[in-house]
């Protein structure tokens, strides 16, 4: 038993985003904007969102939506052109760095040690995935975390990431135990 349900959900989501966002992506492609450009802009807007998250909520929401939208566009553009392994890796690294920074800022702002543990565990989960050359199972929680934080339900977001990470680490442990 693998993550067939997860993989199918991801593929359905990609197909939906491609269908909806393709009309936006085609003009970007014609003027020479690449998926790498959009990944960089997504990362920068993600960093801006992290900067504003617990201070100026409207700016957090604006930059957070921009971050998520640019991330969706970079994937669609990559699939429209020539998707590369290094591009997928860079996209995954930047997306998860934003997530870890968002979680880490929650730890710093609220001074709750368990938030630090959650941020560290999520980082470990993502590093296992990246160091396995993106073969180990992984669960991503960034989009849900942003949406929950948009609602200012910070503790709910942290609990969601904690549960997701614990489950993901369990899947990774099973993956590596079965390989041996």
Domain boundaries, the chain: 4-179
Mean pLDDT of the chain: 90
Share of the chain above pLDDT 90, in %: 64
Domain 4-179, classified CATH 1.20.120.1760, yes or no: yes
- Under the banding of pLDDT at 50, 70 and 90, the label for residue 141 is very high
* Predicted pLDDT at 2: 54
Two structure tokens written together for 17: 């985003």
Confidence check: pLDDT of 23 > 50: yes
Residue 2's alpha-carbon distances to 150, 167, 172, 180, in angstroms, are 32, 13, 11, 16
Place of tokens 């910070």: 154
Q: Is 153 helix (H, G, I), strand (E, B) or coil?
A: coil
Cα 45 to Cα 30: distance, rounded to the nearest angstrom: 23
Question: In the structure, what pLDDT confidence band is assigned to residue 7 with cuts at 50, 70 and 90?
Answer: confident
Distance (Å, whole) CA 146 – CA 171: 24
């Amino acid at each position: 038993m693998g993550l067939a349900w997860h993989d199918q959900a991801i593929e359905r989501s990609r197909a939906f985003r491609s269908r909806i966002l393709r009309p936006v992506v085609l003009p970007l492609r014609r003027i020479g904007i690449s998926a790498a450009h959009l990944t960089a802009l997504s990362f920068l807007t993600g960093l801006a969102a992290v900067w504003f998250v617990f201070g100026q909520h409207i700016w957090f929401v604006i930059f957070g939506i921009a971050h998520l939208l640019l991330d969706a566009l970079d994937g669609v553009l990559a699939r429209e052109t020539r998707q590369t392994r290094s591009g997928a890796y860079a996209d995954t690294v930047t997306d998860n760095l934003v997530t870890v920074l968002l979680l880490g800022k929650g730890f710093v702002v609220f001074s709750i040690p368990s938030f630090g543990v959650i941020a560290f565990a999520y980082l470990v989960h993502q590093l296992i995935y990246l160091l396995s050359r993106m073969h180990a199972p992984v669960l991503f929680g960034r989009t849900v975390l942003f949406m929950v934080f948009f609602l200012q339900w910070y503790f709910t977001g942290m609990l969601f990431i904690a549960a997701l990470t614990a489950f993901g680490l369990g899947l990774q442990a099973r993956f590596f135990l079965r390989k041996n």
